[in-house]
Amino acid sequence: MATSIIFLPLLGFLFCFLLGKQFNYKVYQISTTSILFLCTLFSWIIFIQFVNNKETEIIFILNWITSGNFIVDWSIRLDTLTAVMFIVVTTVSACVHLYSIGYMEEDPSKIRFMGYLSLFTFFMLVLVSSNNLLQMFFGWEGVGLASYLLIGFWHHKDSANKAAIKAFVVNRVGDFGYAIGIAGIFYIFGTISFDSIFSQVDQFSEHQIQFLSFSFPTLDFLCFLLFIGAMGKSAQLGLHTWLPDAMEGPTPVSALIHAATMVTAGVFLVARMSPLYEFATFTNLFITFIGAATAIFAASIALTQNDIKRVIAYSTCSQLGYMFFAAGVGAYNASIFHLTTHAFFKALLFLSAGSVIHAMHHEQDMRKMGGLFKKIPFTASMMWIGSLAIIGFPYLSGYYSKESILENAFYASNGIAYFAYLVGILTALLTAFYSWRLLFLTFHGENRSNNKIYDHAHESPLVMTAPLFILAIGSIFSGIFFADYFIGYYKKEFWDNAILLTESSHKYLPLTQSLISKSAVAVGILICVLIYSNNLNRANNLSYNLDPLYSLSKNKWYVDELYHKVFVLTFFKLANFFWKRGDEKTIDGLGPNGVSWIISKSSSYVSLFQSGYLFHYAFAMLGGLVIILTWFLYY
């Protein structure tokens, strides 16, 4: 069953890719979508088996690489973590497949689109079910490829192509670390299969490794390298710039890849390697710090963006920060829990945003929306549910997972974790603010769009609203149902060594702290209501008065500009320098061209010897003969 979950989407892709012109496009849409729903069904069956304490299972498929003692297999690792990721990936993917039938209705390349979605799902499933680091890397780069193809799906748009390249290249910077990390793990442990690595971890807790003439604690160092990969894929501070630009892709793509599944691969990697990370004290502090910093940094940008998708994109970035600082303080279960709930509500938010965009004829600027609640009430209520879930409204899914993360940070008892805790509360305030701002600008207040567009705004068809409904159910109930298993009473039996659980009885935040975090959310909403409730005048005045801060946030802290100056321009300058000065002037100048210059100069002298007189030649030959004979006599 697990095998079919993984390979069915690949089949769907190959069907679209190889036989893409044989049938009506509906055949492809229906077949890929039903394949995904079948996979979803299978995944939930497997998940329920794991809830009932199924044993970890490893399905061997084929030997992939054997080189000396470097042996890598194609195989499927089925444990609780895989099962959780299976339901997340397949459920969201099935919803997105279905939704795309409606959303991409007018696009001429529907078949290609469905094919890419299935291809992505295949790679993602390979990633989460891998039993070794290299097969995971195969999935890891594979989802990167699918993301590249889908961001650049509308390849006639230059901005989309640029964003696609940016995503791929920034991810490659992360992969640079990941690849070296795998090589390092093989060097230290002599294997890259998870179980064999984990069984040896104890022996290396004090071990030191030499790298670039420095000495590092081995496990810290290896975890750090892998985390660089995770930072790239999960768009953490420094390597985050690709994610907002990835919104150039069609909205279902943003929901599937750049919110619910692919970007969480980094979190998954850290959780998967948790037995290793447990010994990486320094790296854990680093992860906590980066996570917290990303959470607030991205949230601060989301406050002022006007593109509806960009707000949600930065929100994703920020929520990923939460997951990472949870992982950093050792609460891997809370981290994965948030990953799961986040997948539902963030996919819901994105698809709802897509529904809005669909209704508004591809308008994404929230300044040109407003008052849409009356026109598209269903979409608006879905967006409300998603927003309530993300801010952690009691008993919705986000409430449980976020609360659990804050708890763990609070009790982690180190300085950086406490910093993360405070940042987490502040970010919750910002989250509430930007979520409400989005709701106000889009659905409430007066209409600011072209009247013609507003009048034509209509609720989306059933294929688009049904997935919203499914995801909304997930956003509401996934917290209350799963909390006991993921973080609560049954967590030990449920996780069963799939990830590392820190020894702590389930503690609740002290009442005062809990109240503070809840009031932070309330304050966020309140501020938003005060500013945006009637019209935009107050907001405009405020942005004018707070200009330096406002511009900083609006322009994303100028990180893109900085990178462009520091990296892109330098690279092109260096490239031209090496080419023109290095190759053409120096190497060619001293090499072949120099030699030919010398030869042509000297040959004009040599030609003097070619006098044409026979006795000149005879004399020269005689001289040569003498010299050769002399040489032979001596040696």
Chain positions contacting another protein, by CB under 8 A:
63-70, 134, 137-138, 140-142, 145, 148, 152, 155-156, 158, 161-162, 164-165, 168-169, 172-173, 175-176, 179-180, 182-184, 186-187, 210-212, 571-572, 574-576, 578-579, 582-583, 587-588, 591-592, 595-596
Q: Cβ closer to another protein: 162 or 444?
A: 162
Angle at 350 between CA 34 and CA 270, to 5 degrees: 85
User: What is the residue type of 57?
Assistant: E
Question: Which strand (E) or helix (H) includes residue 391?
Answer: helix 377-391
Residue 12 Cβ vs another protein, minimum distance, rounded to whole Å = 17
Q: Cβ closer to another protein: 122 or 322?
A: 122
Length of the chain equals: 635
Task: Dihedral sign for Cα 171, 172, 176, 179, please.
Answer: positive
Residue 141 Cβ vs another protein, minimum distance, rounded to whole Å = 5
Residue 573 Cβ vs another protein, minimum distance, rounded to whole Å = 9
Quick one: DSSP state of residue 460?
P
Q: Cβ closer to another protein: 241 or 284?
A: 241
Residue 139 Cβ vs another protein, minimum distance, rounded to whole Å = 8
SS (H, E, C) 98-158: HHHHHHCCCCCCHHHHHHHHHHHHHHHHHHHHCCEHHHHHHHHHHHHHHHHHHHCCCCCCH
Joined tokens for residue 250: 């069609």
CA distance linking residue 293 with residue 416, whole number of Å: 11
Q: Cβ closer to another protein: 167 or 372?
A: 167
Residue 273 Cβ vs another protein, minimum distance, rounded to whole Å = 18
Q: Cβ closer to another protein: 181 or 252?
A: 181
Q: Cβ closer to another protein: 61 or 422?
A: 61
Residue 431 Cβ vs another protein, minimum distance, rounded to whole Å = 33
Residue 629 Cβ vs another protein, minimum distance, rounded to whole Å = 20
Quick one: DSSP state of residue 72?
E
Residue 212 Cβ vs another protein, minimum distance, rounded to whole Å = 5
3-state helix, strand, coil in the chain (%, to 5): 75, 5, 20
Q: Do 266 and 230 form a contact (C-beta atoms < 8 A)?
A: yes
Residue 145 Cβ vs another protein, minimum distance, rounded to whole Å = 6
Residue 211 Cβ vs another protein, minimum distance, rounded to whole Å = 4
Joined tokens for residue 233: 């894929």
Q: Cβ closer to another protein: 62 or 608?
A: 62
Q: Cβ closer to another protein: 210 or 533?
A: 210
Reduce the DSSP state of residue 29 to 3 states and report it. Answer: helix
Q: Comparing C-alpha atoms, which of 549, 327, 525, 340 is closest to residue 431?
A: 525
Residue 557 Cβ vs another protein, minimum distance, rounded to whole Å = 24
Joined tokens for residue 236: 């953490």
Q: Cβ closer to another protein: 73 or 407?
A: 73
**Phi-psi domain of 451 (left: phi exceeds 0; alpha: psi -120 through 50; beta: other):** alpha
Q: Cβ closer to another protein: 229 or 291?
A: 229
- Find tokens 């750049």 and name the residue: 258
* Cα–Cα distance list, 501 to 264, 401, 477, 482, 486 (Å): 20, 16, 24, 16, 10
Joined tokens for residue 588: 């060619």
- Find tokens 């959310």 and name the residue: 521
Centre a 10 Å sphere on the Cβ of residue 615 and count the other Cβ atoms it contains.
8
Q: Cβ closer to another protein: 141 or 278?
A: 141
Joined tokens for residue 157: 């748009």
Q: Cβ closer to another protein: 180 or 422?
A: 180
Residue 76 Cβ vs another protein, minimum distance, rounded to whole Å = 16
User: What is the residue type of 306?
Assistant: N
Q: Cβ closer to another protein: 17 or 373?
A: 17
* Cα–Cα distance list, 178 to 376, 453, 574 (Å): 45, 48, 26
Q: Cβ closer to another protein: 20 or 371?
A: 20
CA distance linking residue 192 with residue 190, whole number of Å: 7
Question: Which strand (E) or helix (H) includes residue 62?
Answer: strand 57-67
Quick one: DSSP state of residue 307?
B
Residue 143 Cβ vs another protein, minimum distance, rounded to whole Å = 11
Cα maximum dimension of the chain:
115
CA distance linking residue 552 with residue 559, whole number of Å: 10
Residue 64 Cβ vs another protein, minimum distance, rounded to whole Å = 7
Q: Do 344 and 471 form a contact (C-beta atoms < 8 A)?
A: yes
Residue 70 Cβ vs another protein, minimum distance, rounded to whole Å = 5
Q: Cβ closer to another protein: 157 or 506?
A: 157
Residue 599 Cβ vs another protein, minimum distance, rounded to whole Å = 9
CA distance linking residue 531 with residue 239, whole number of Å: 33
Query: Which phi and psi (to 5°) does residue 67 adopt?
Result: -140, 105
* Cα 341 → chain centroid: 17
Q: Do 323 and 264 form a contact (C-beta atoms < 8 A)?
A: yes
Q: Cβ closer to another protein: 27 or 165?
A: 165
Q: Do 324 and 294 form a contact (C-beta atoms < 8 A)?
A: yes
CA distance linking residue 302 with residue 295, whole number of Å: 11
CA distance linking residue 622 with residue 171, whole number of Å: 72
